[in-house]
Amino acid sequence: MMVSCAPKTESNPFFTEYTAPFGMPDFAQIRSEHYMPAFLKGMEEHNAEIEAIVNNPEAPTFANTIEAMEFSGKLMNRVSAVFYNLTSAETNDQLKTIQKDMSPLLSEHNDNISLNDKLFERVKVIYDNKATANLTPEQEMVLDKYYKDFVRSGALLDATQKEQLKAINKELNLLSIRFADNVLTETNNFKLVIDNEADLAGLPEWVIAGAAEEANAKGETGKWVFTLAKPSFLPFLQYADNRELREKIYNGYINRADNGNDNDNKETIAQILKLRQQKANLLGFDTFAEFALDNRMAKNPENVYALLNSIWSAALPKAKEEAKDMQALIYQEGGNFQLAAWDWWYYTEKLRKQKFDLDESEVKPFFAVDNVRDGAFMVANKLWGITFEERTDIPVYHQDVKTFEVKDKDGSHIGVFLVDYFPRESKRAGAWMNSYRDQSIENGTNIRPIVVNVGNFSKPVGNTPSLLNIDEVQTLFHEFGHGLHGLLTQCTYPIVSGTSVARDFVELPSQIMEHWATNPEVMTMYAKHYQTGEVISDELIEKMDKAANFNTGFTTTELVAAALLDMNYHTTSDFSNFDAVAFESKTTKEIGLIDEITYRYRGPYFSHIFSGGYATGYYSYLWAEVLDADAFDAFEQNGIFDQKTAQLYRENILEKGGSVEPMTLYVQFRGAEPNPEALLRNRGLKN
């Protein structure tokens, strides 16, 4: 579809090059009314560029077809980068409306390119003659990716099938938006209001202070408010003595978008799964899982199930042992009730203190968010000599965002790194990395990336900074690992740059960073008491180390259960009369998940797979953990800051992006394929 518009170019900041330092978007100048004209003009320009490629009278070559496509659509990329970052991190009703209005237009635009017969003919000619095209290894990978993407997008379908696929893609895009909106609305709608101070028994002072501040912000002065933001509800489950209120907030969390109201996602799930199955069938696959895995490291569902089941068989018995320990503690304290899911975190904290003399409240003061962030920066500096200099002259989209210029050890510019760490109602839950500009090399110029890390850590309260628990410390380092992947990449083409890799490989750079986060040598570099400046003691580090794999049965079981649910959804082929809750219950029974543990993500709020690109991909965290556990062994063997190992890792993993097959890159770094048992050892499930 050709879309035409004639906006006033002088008034729309997307129509001219950004003038802020390093090409950062000038967020203060961008208003909601700028997006639609920019999208429409971007599609118009992109269409013209594609038409020029299609109608080029010269014989197809990599340069005049593949490279021309790769560097087309600049305005589209510019507006999309800003728009979709903000719809995740700083959305509003206007942006939500624009997203719904643009979704079918963008879906049609993308389909018109991927289903353009003449364009595919040119790609196929180059692909069929690549042996004589004298391409670089990266160009070969780019060509293969374009050809496979065209085929996976329906290029080999007949005209009727192409129209069917277009309709499916449009509907899937809209359903994905609806799913995400429902989860955000349900998350924001819940609040646990406490007006009796006795109901705060057991809660640490920092939790109570945060709840009082939340109450003031919500007009509940003199009360305490707990929300479904993780820094609010999780400490409540960990510490609140009031079991009835723990159950209330827990059920509020796990029943999001499953309440039979306008925000219910069960029917949306059924529609998404049915359409994905139809799409897979159109493209020649029996199930969506087979389609999705065809271009990943795992290759097929059998390999994924083999990994998940091997971990499950080790994790579930461990979780059952943990449940028995907690039940014994309940009886020991005089309780006469059975351990329930909303009790797990509460009794985990009690057992942690009993077994290891370790209280999370003892640990948190050493992990102020800025110190943890600087600790991640220090690790990168010791590994590769790179530095992070805070800049206050670069535009940001929210006052909580901080910006850093990243420089290499020779002082050269690497990129710009943004951090946005605190929850708000305009931000979706979770933590993620994204970019405002990807790295590439065009006309000899190395265009450096602009990368953002987004999180939902507890907000500062009064004079107390944001204090992280150890899981949040690892999350910060995890997302920083993704950030390094996006920042240090050295590729020519955006399609393989940075994190543009197989879904089950992308978590390697993030998860390996978690190992440095909790390494004793590293913690002494950054873990300092926020009031006294005292460095964390060896005694406390030793306690944390001994407790590192405590509760690992639970954490592994809830993660694997969610991955198995994801796989079961997408290996199913019949979605007539599909009932999402009944299907979930059936999976629970089949895998033997115990009542005391719920899936890390239940279907109605499983945003990773229904609105976040991880469909048939939640297993990726575990697949990549095999890689990261084995990879960190190399650092432990040679020294965690060994320069040779660090350089091998940078050159073969971080810089190469998706320009080489992932296992080839891994073997070039490590010297051999990974040992799967490294994961079980890492989680304390095997000696």
Task: Tell me the domain boundaries of the chain.
Answer: 22-156, 190-254, 266-358+552-618, 365-546+621-682
Residue type, 93: D
d(CA 208, CA 202): 10
For 492, the token pair is: 């020519």
Mutual angle of helices 580-591 and 266-282, in 10-degree steps: 80
Residue type, 566: D
Question: What is the helix, strand, coil percentage profile of the chain, to 5?
Answer: 60, 5, 35
Q: Does domain 22-156 have CATH number 1.20.1050.40?
A: yes
Residue 121 bears catalytic tag: no
Whether the CB-CB separation of 57 and 118 falls below 8 Å is answered with no
> According to the model, what pLDDT value does residue 11 have?
86
Whether the CB-CB separation of 293 and 307 falls below 8 Å is answered with no
Residue 203 backbone zone (phi > 0: left; psi -120 to 50: alpha; other: beta): beta
What's the fold here for domain 266-358+552-618? Neurolysin; domain 3 (1.10.1370)
Going 297 to 301 to 302 to 306, the CA torsion angle's sign is positive
Residue 154 backbone zone (phi > 0: left; psi -120 to 50: alpha; other: beta): left
- DSSP letter (8 states) at residue 464: B
Same fold: 22-156 with 266-358+552-618: no
Whether the CB-CB separation of 53 and 122 falls below 8 Å is answered with yes
Just give the CATH number of 365-546+621-682: 1.10.1370.40
> According to the model, what pLDDT value does residue 269 have?
98
The candidate with the shortest Cα–Cα distance to 89, out of 456, 393, 499, 417, is 456
For 256, the token pair is: 């999001």
Phi first, then psi: give them for residue 433, nearest 5 degrees: -115, 140
d(CA 623, CA 618): 9
Whether the CB-CB separation of 421 and 434 falls below 8 Å is answered with no
For 653, the token pair is: 């993993």
The CA-atom distances, in angstroms, between 278 and each of 39, 177, 601 are: 29, 20, 25
> According to the model, what pLDDT value does residue 10 have?
53
The candidate with the shortest Cα–Cα distance to 372, out of 518, 267, 492, 173, is 518
For 118, the token pair is: 């003449």
Whether the CB-CB separation of 321 and 553 falls below 8 Å is answered with yes
Phi first, then psi: give them for residue 128, nearest 5 degrees: -70, -20
- 630 in helix, strand or coil? helix
For 596, the token pair is: 């005391």
The candidate with the shortest Cα–Cα distance to 678, out of 352, 311, 407, is 311
For 381, the token pair is: 């500096």
Helical segments of 469-551, H only: 470-487, 508-517, 520-526, 538-546
For 128, the token pair is: 């069929």
pTM of the full structure = 0.95
Q: Where are the beta strands (DSSP E) in 296-429?
A: 387-391, 402-407, 413-420
- Chunked into runs of 10 residues, the chain (687 residues) has average pLDDT values of 42 94 97 98 98 98 98 98 98 97 97 97 98 96 98 97 97 98 97 98 95 95 96 96 98 98 98 98 98 96 97 97 98 97 97 93 95 98 98 97 98 98 96 98 97 97 95 98 98 98 97 97 98 97 94 97 98 95 97 98 98 96 96 96 98 98 97 91 87
Bridge partners (DSSP) of residue 432 are 454
The CA-atom distances, in angstroms, between 597 and each of 2, 218, 344, 551, 616 are: 52, 32, 8, 12, 22
From the list 44, 214, 479, 625, the catalytic residue is 479
